[in-house]
Amino acid sequence: MDRNQLNERLPVVVDAIVKSIGSEPRLQHLNRVYLPNRDVIIDCITRLRELIFAGYFGNQGLTSHNLPYRAGELVIELCDALFEQVRFCLRYRASIPGQNDGDAQCEECDHEAARIVATFFDRIPAVRDLLALDVQAAFDSDPAAQSTDETIFCYPGLFAIFVQRCAHEFYKLDVPLLPRIMTEHAHALTGIDIHPGAKLGRSFFIDHGTGVVIGETTEIGANVKIYQGVTLGAVAPQYGQQLRGQKRHPTIEDDVTIYAGATILGGETVIGKGALIGGNVFITSSVPPLNRVTAEPPKLRYRDRRPKRMQEDIMLDFQI
Amino acid sequence: MDRNQLNERLPVVVDAIVKSIGSEPRLQHLNRVYLPNRDVIIDCITRLRELIFAGYFGNQGLTSHNLPYRAGELVIELCDALFEQVRFCLRYRASIPGQNDGDAQCEECDHEAARIVATFFDRIPAVRDLLALDVQAAFDSDPAAQSTDETIFCYPGLFAIFVQRCAHEFYKLDVPLLPRIMTEHAHALTGIDIHPGAKLGRSFFIDHGTGVVIGETTEIGANVKIYQGVTLGAVAPQYGQQLRGQKRHPTIEDDVTIYAGATILGGETVIGKGALIGGNVFITSSVPPLNRVTAEPPKLRYRDRRPKRMQEDIMLDFQI
Amino acid sequence: MDRNQLNERLPVVVDAIVKSIGSEPRLQHLNRVYLPNRDVIIDCITRLRELIFAGYFGNQGLTSHNLPYRAGELVIELCDALFEQVRFCLRYRASIPGQNDGDAQCEECDHEAARIVATFFDRIPAVRDLLALDVQAAFDSDPAAQSTDETIFCYPGLFAIFVQRCAHEFYKLDVPLLPRIMTEHAHALTGIDIHPGAKLGRSFFIDHGTGVVIGETTEIGANVKIYQGVTLGAVAPQYGQQLRGQKRHPTIEDDVTIYAGATILGGETVIGKGALIGGNVFITSSVPPLNRVTAEPPKLRYRDRRPKRMQEDIMLDFQI
């Protein structure tokens, strides 16, 4: 087949794909309300970071004199973008799938969207206060940190916490889609997956962070430290929608440290104040306050590696 | 040294680097055929997503009336880009390194490329049917999912599966480089590393996903659920090219659930229909159908943390 | 509330946010020296990759004839961008927070920046020699690799090592902020978190890589292979700044292989030449040369899953 013959086949190809799209409702969004736009929402996160961490990102040379103008500009841009996206989310929820709702009007949605955005803006100073404590916690907890500025610039854990604290505000205001789109953006950039519904206490620190999963109904107290690969998850998640709405994820009290790779599961599980959970520990029941929980070490096998047994070694390496 | 002195040294710097490039063949691609372009291939993934998940990404307001035109446009753009990239990949393989093949003609490559792109387009409806089942599985399996639309918008597991199912079509058509470039793009965005050669059954669900690794010769049945940090890998991979082409990765039968952090290794290893593999389990041999495999719990040590023993604690924390 | 009422509230919102910014020094960088720019630094990484892996990225059709011009162009662009960013980093360190240092002059910084950039350029050929061995190691070690070119195009481990080897040069030259900004960019794209201070030996290979963490004071010998999820970390990191500057991370000698999910902690811990560390092993003390260390297998529990006990199973699944 040559290039021309390929071109000649395209009409047939398009017909087949159009038919396929028409026949599978789960993978098409036709004749319906506008959906929120991921790119615009991600752009809001960038602007929020510039506003909240004032002077660190975006244009240089921020001074107390130009601050009000820069801040004002960002707030106006954010207001337009967030109002539109929240409105799309609410109209999406209000629309009735299957019917032609392509031009769905929903004035109530628009009023609600305005209320939501105004409430979010009012919360920004409180969110900044929390993030200032997170920055301090990151610096205090990491011997490799040279300054709080470095944690703001470089630390993925801080970025994921910043995004989740913002997304959580929209989650509390019951906005569909948008909060999860925000936290999944942070997940993509950091490998840290914090559901927007999770309740995070003050002075929260996540180090390295890749592989961290914090489920929707998790509650975390103050001064908690978490390392890479920690899961705060649900027991038997495979039962899926049956468990919808239940408290499925653990509660972590104040001053708890959870080392890399630890897995803590279940909505009844409470890790008591000041407890320390060792690396790779797997826990599905509660831990009393001020306890250190570590796994009884699996005996390690040491065996000399004699080159002539190399081939045998191949099979033995993992017969453990 | 000041700025000018730095500028004056640049010619010496350039000479040294040019010499270094000339003398190390493994890090240079000089006087040779054109290579595929990662950015163009990633752009194809974006367009494929817009075409396959019609109405969710890209321009809003898709209707049954404008669909044929939008779809047609996307198909034409994809045809041009994919034909060119597949052609580069085939010419690359056909070229003889070392010789000056900078202007390598390869008509056979071009005809083959046209055949491959046409075949790929014909497979798109079948790929959509599979993805519709994956979307349903994601919604059914995750209590935090509010709608199938949310899974399409937000779920990294679904994105990684979408990319792999497309890349797998090119893998089956024996295109070099391009399939792996596609799946590594998904890996970068999701932390989910599925080799384009892996065979994925229908209704496949990956939750959270960060750290998941699914090797080249893995075979996965229908209705399988996998959680974050699961490895379906090879035994003793360090023997490298010696193992090339062998079945090195496990077979997972229908209706299997594998919890977070489980590691399943080896080409002979078969996880039987309906089995359930517990979190962090490490398996290198087969599991019979309908069994649940969990690790005998390592005894947990609970110890009171007395502040005055803090210093000693530093060393004890991990003597486990 | 409608859109107009929302707009009317914006002045109040801006005032509150400006007040919040003024009152929290940890989250604002006002009236101070310019900071390095993440986007420019990331752009430098892209150009460095184009220069070091000559002909693989950026414009196609590189020949021995046009190479000097292309390389020269890249070096000049890199020189401008790196000089400016290094200078910002040095001026940032020289500035006195709290004081108005918005127009901080620091000629010493500028001379130092010129010296540093010149030294970095001189090191590029040596860095290329190391990367050529890393490319060879990636191809030799991975049965799925079809060519060394594929590893350059697709392998996240190689990208993370490339970025760290460049960042490490700036770390050795004692540049603040910039090295960590570089490695965190690689971390975001690959899930591989290698601190710029870590010492990496030649022929280093990381496969898959998601979740790998290599701490600041880690030392790694030649021909070392590491798989996904491996942590080379510190014991009791929660003691934070108290441990600043100490050797906190392990030493890995030549020819060591460390399988997926293994955790090796502590600055005194030495993994001897030729040792092999099994998957998920957790080690806090040294291992003699030529030993294979694997975990005594936790006994696995196999239990039949009888549908009628499904409800009970929900609770039993993780009572392990």
Confidence class for position B317, pLDDT limits 50, 70, 90:
very low
Q: By the CB < 8 Å criterion, does A210 face chain B?
A: yes
Do B280 and A282 lie within an 8 Å CB cutoff? yes
pLDDT at residue C312 greater than cutoff 50? no
Quick one: pLDDT at residue C131?
Answer: 98
Query: What average pLDDT is seen over chain C?
Result: 90
Quick one: pLDDT at residue B316?
Answer: 44
pLDDT tens profile C229-268: 999 999 876 677 777 788 999 999 999 999 999 999 999 9
State pTM to two decimals. 0.92
Confidence class for position A21, pLDDT limits 50, 70, 90:
very high
Per mean pLDDT, which range of A285-299, B22-36, B182-196 is the poorest? A285-299
Quick one: pLDDT at residue B229?
Answer: 96
Q: By the CB < 8 Å criterion, does C13 face chain A?
A: yes
Which of C12, C185, C213, C276 to probe by mutation at the A interface, max A CB count within 10 Å?
A: C213
CB of C221 closer than 8 Å to CB of C254: yes
Quick one: pLDDT at residue B144?
Answer: 85
Query: How many CB atoms are located within 10 Å of the residue B132 CB?
Result: 22
Confidence class for position A122, pLDDT limits 50, 70, 90:
very high
pLDDT at residue B200 greater than cutoff 50? yes
| Integer Cα distance of C113 and C115 in angstroms | 5
Which of C57, C60, C150 to probe by mutation at the B interface, max B CB count within 10 Å?
A: C60
Q: How far is C295 from chain A (nearest CA, A)?
A: 5
User: ipTM score here?
Assistant: 0.90
Quick one: pLDDT at residue A302?
Answer: 75
Segment 108-167 of chain C within 8 Å of chain A by CB = none
Mean local confidence (pLDDT), A70-82: 97
Q: What percent of chain B has pLDDT over 90?
A: 74
Do B111 and A244 lie within an 8 Å CB cutoff? no
Mean local confidence (pLDDT), A287-292: 93
pLDDT tens profile A175-223: 999 999 999 999 999 999 999 999 999 999 999 999 999 999 999 999 9
pLDDT tens profile C169-226: 999 999 999 999 999 999 999 999 999 999 999 999 999 999 999 999 999 999 999 9
Do A176 and B280 lie within an 8 Å CB cutoff? no
pLDDT at residue C143 greater than cutoff 70? yes
Q: By the CB < 8 Å criterion, does C69 face chain A?
A: no
Q: Determine which helix (DSSP H) or strand (DSSP E) holds A312, and give its type and residue range.
A: helix A310-316
Q: To which residue do tokens 């052609």 refer?
A: B87
pLDDT tens profile C58-91: 888 899 999 999 999 999 999 999 999 999 999 9
Compare all CA atoms of chain B with the CA of C318 and give the residue at the minimum distance.
B278
Nearest to B235 among A176, A274, A318 (CB): A318
Q: Give the bridge partners for C54, in sequence order.
A: B28
Quick one: pLDDT at residue A290?
Answer: 92
Q: How far is B197 from chain C (nearest CA, A)?
A: 9
pLDDT tens profile B232-275: 999 876 677 777 788 999 999 999 999 999 999 999 999 999 99
Do B229 and A240 lie within an 8 Å CB cutoff? no
pLDDT tens profile A104-114: 678 899 999 99
Quick one: pLDDT at residue B311?
Answer: 39
pLDDT tens profile B62-118: 999 999 999 999 999 999 999 999 999 999 998 876 554 545 678 899 999 999 999
CB of C245 closer than 8 Å to CB of C215: no
pLDDT at residue C6 greater than cutoff 80? yes
Nearest to B132 among A24, A37, A298 (CB): A24
**Touching partners of A (3+ C-beta pairs < 8 Å):** B, C
| Integer Cα distance of C52 and C38 in angstroms | 21
Query: Residues of A with CB below 8 A from B304's CB?
Result: 290-292
CB of C188 closer than 8 Å to CB of A189: yes
Q: Give the bridge partners for B225, in sequence order.
A: B205, B257
Q: How far is C72 from chain B (nearest CA, A)?
A: 6
Mean local confidence (pLDDT), B52-60: 91
Residue, of A318 and A123, whose pLDDT is higher: A123
Quick one: pLDDT at residue B146?
Answer: 87
Query: Residues of C with CB below 8 A from A313's CB?
Result: 292
| Integer Cα distance of B314 and C246 in angstroms | 14
Strands A251-252 and A219-220: parallel
| Integer Cα distance of A236 and C314 in angstroms | 6
Confidence class for position B178, pLDDT limits 50, 70, 90:
very high
Do B71 and A21 lie within an 8 Å CB cutoff? yes
Do A156 and C187 lie within an 8 Å CB cutoff? yes
